[in-house]
Amino acid sequence: MKPLRPYLPVILIVVPVFVLVLIRTFAPGSFKPDAQKLAVASFTGANLLNKAQVAKLGSKPLIVKLGNVHGEQINSSSDTLFIAAGQLLDKEILKAIHVHRGPVLLVSDDPATSAKAWMILSQMGYRDLFVLTENDSNEVLKYKFRPDTAAGI
């Protein structure tokens, strides 16, 4: 034991730091997947579902309504969670999403809120997540771009 005595302070510091790094690495809820790989589904629109596609799902979806979502019922046989967007990471909400076996639909009046929630939950390791949308494309431009002709150039 005498040869290790001079190294004891170093060992007492390094071992707990190593244990904390391991806990942080393997802890549930930490961001494990690569965000760039997850964002591909967002860019291609693979994470978007419309109401017709929801009706074709094989299993009963969990609908997570973020904020004050207005509109008709999406699917009468589905479970629904009504939460404020800021409560998405509460333990009870995450547990309800984790326990559900099947697709999870994120719904919000603001599509950006649903997209943010989708990315956060995807990074935390949740799978089978979708954003419910009114249209099939990721972004729809309402107006045709026209150059400014008033500048007189």
Query: Tell me: the pLDDT tens digits for 17-72?
Result: 999 888 877 776 555 566 677 778 877 888 888 888 888 887 889 999 998 765 54
Half-sphere exposure in the Cβ direction for 80 (13 Å, CA): 14
Higher-confidence position of 142 and 96: 96
Query: Contact 27/69 with Cβ under 8 angstroms?
Result: no
Q: Tally the domains of the chain.
A: 1
Q: How far apart are the C-alpha atoms of 66 and 21, rounded to whole Å? A: 34
* Residue 110 within a domain: yes
* Residue 44 within a domain: yes
What confidence score (pLDDT) does residue 13 get?
92
* Residue 56 within a domain: yes
| CB within 8 Å of 124: residues ≥ 6 apart | 29, 30, 31, 32, 94
* Residue 94 within a domain: yes
What confidence score (pLDDT) does residue 153 get?
55
Q: Which domain holds residue 76?
A: 35-132
pLDDT tens sequence across 1-17: 578 788 888 888 999 99
Query: Contact 129/57 with Cβ under 8 angstroms?
Result: no
* Residue 91 within a domain: yes
* Residue 24 within a domain: no
As given in the structure block, the two tokens for residue 133 are: 């949308």
* Residue 78 within a domain: yes
Question: Dihedral of CA 53/70/134/34: which sign?
Answer: negative
* Residue 6 within a domain: no
CATH number of the structural domain spanning residue 54: 3.40.250.10
